[in-house]
Amino acid sequence: MRKIIYWVHTSVDGFIDGPNGEFDWPAMGPGLSAYSAGLDKGVDTLLFGRPVWEMMVGFWPNAESITDDPHTAAFAPFWRATPKIVFSRSYGGDDWTSRVISEDLAGEVAALKAQPGGDMLLTGGATLAAELTELGLIDDYHIAVHPVVLGGGRRLFATPEHRHNLRLVNSQLQDNQVVVSQYQLVPPPTTT
């Protein structure tokens, strides 16, 4: 069965962007870039909520003409070549969207996970990640905590409805400043 991997950057105070939507604070050094590239190796599908999609599609199609950053140069061809699914109730898609899922989140994602193929990577976002967490559909969480206090913005997991216990699988320091921790969801106890 395919896994959903959630890869997200957050501030120390738990925000994925600043009070005005700023995303200029993550520092992608060589270690963090290599970590990200390692996640991509087993992935054959990218997943996005609409707000993150709009940011991504505004940058990655022509990323190399905007910046000469080594991480960008390495990731942009992968982003363009990999099928992309956007989750939105109102978005119709565009030239870069392989598919839009607008209804039956649990059923559609369960069907995606049951298909043959590589893993799926959910990049950033708070609402879709929170909804998939509530449904128990994210298999691995890779959370990069950057040394910045943003003081506001969108929370890492929007507003969770329930408690979800995670198990720490691995934690490492990247580029002497960013702590990346990998977690897995602890399934709730079964009742008989």
Going by pLDDT thresholds of 50, 70 and 90, the confidence category of residue 71 is: confident
- The better pLDDT of the pair 20, 191 is held by 20
Radius of gyration of the chain (CA): 16
Question: What is the per-residue pLDDT for 163?
Answer: 85
Residue 190 CA to residue 126 CA, distance in Å, equals 28
Is pLDDT at 192 greater than 70 in this prediction?
A: no
CB 20 within 8 Å of CB 151:
no
Chain-centroid distance of CA 63 in Å reads 19
Look at residues 57, 59, 49 and name the one whose alpha carbon lies nearest to residue 24: 59
- For residue 48, CA distances in Å to 52, 97, 104 come to 6, 10, 16
Average pLDDT over residues 19-26: 91
pLDDT at 159: 73
Instruction: Tell me the C-alpha distance between 47 and 53, whole Å.
Output: 9
109, pLDDT greater than 70: yes
* Structure-token match 């990998």, residue found: 182
CA atoms within 13 A on the CB side of 180: 24
Three-state DSSP class for residue 153: coil
pLDDT in tens, 141-184: 999 999 999 999 999 987 777 788 999 999 999 999 999 999 99
